[in-house]
Amino acid sequence: MKSLAELAAIREKMQGKVVLREGSGDIRVVVGMATCGIAAGARPVLNAFVEEINNRDLAGKVTVSQTGCIGICQFEPVVEVFEADKEKVTYVKMTPDKAKEVIEKHIIGGKVIEEYTVSNI
């Protein structure tokens, strides 16, 4: 180890891998992963979220987790976005592409994509 920069480079590289354990992201993305969700394709959606969040270095800010069935099986895959002091947003009939869009417009841009939400069905 010859310089602080070298150390910092390793830290940067690894931080994404341990940040999961700090637990407290400001934003929580919860994917419904009950049997109904999985059957409707929730796995690729979940993975798309995880991947996109890592690609965009958002792991310290956003936590992705799963939950069970929330009772609207016909609209699966269902994704809920929780943010402190804001109302929960529920997206339905999600796909990996929609997931990327949600990250871009909602998580980063702060604008809810109304057409994908449950209230628009």
Partner 1 sequence: MVRAQVLICGGTGCTSSGSVKLIPEFEAQIAKNGLEDEIKIVKTGCFGLCELGPVVIVYPDGTFYSRVEESDVKEIVEEHLLKGRIVERLAYTDVAADAVVKGNVSLSDTRFYSKQKRVALRNCGVIDPENIEEYIAMDGYAALGKALTEMTPEEVIKTVMDSGLRGRGGGGFPTGLKWSFTAKNQADQKYVVCNADEGDPGAFMDRSVLEGDPHCLVEAMAICGYATGATEGYVYVRAEYPIAVARLQKAIDDARAYGLLGKNIFDSGFDFDLFIRLGAGAFVCGEETALMTSIEGNRGEPRPRPPYPAVKGLFGKPTTENNVETFANIPQIILKGAEFFNSMGTEKSKGTKVFALGGKINNTGLVEIPMGTTLREVIEDIGGGIPNGKKFKAAQTGGPSGGCLPASLLDIQIDYDNLVAQGAMMGSGGLIVMDEDTCMVDIAKFFLEFTVDESCGKCTPCRIGTKRLYEILEKITSGNGTLADLDEMENLCYYIKENSLCGLGQTAPNPVLSTYKQFKDEYIAHVVDKKCPAGVCKSLLSIVIEADKCKGCTLCSRVCPVGAISGTVKNPHVIDQSKCIKCGACIEKCKFGAISKK
Among 27, 39, 41, 63, binds partner 1 (CB under 8 A): 63
Chain center to CA of 106:
11
Q: How many CA atoms lie within 13 A of 6 on its CB side?
A: 3
Query: Is there a contact between 66 and 32 (Cβ–Cβ < 8 Å)?
Result: yes
The residue from 27, 41, 44, 51 that contacts partner 1 (CB under 8 A) is 51
Complex with partner 1: residue 32 or 92, whichever CB lies closer: 32
Site string for partner 1, 21-40 (x = CB under 8 A): x-x-x----xxxxxx-xx--
Binding segment for partner 1 (CB under 8 A), chosen from 14-22, 74-82, 85-93, 100-108, is: 14-22
73 belongs to the binding site for partner 1 (CB under 8 A): no
Residue in 16, 90, 4 with CA at minimum distance from that of residue 52: 16
CB 16 within 8 A of CB 63: no
Burial of 89 (0-12, 13-18, 19+ CB in 10 A): buried
Is 57 a binder of partner 1 (CB under 8 A)? no
Q: State the residues that interact with partner 1 by CB under 8 A.
A: 1-4, 7, 10-11, 13-15, 17-18, 20-21, 23, 25, 30-35, 37-38, 46-47, 49-51, 54, 63-68
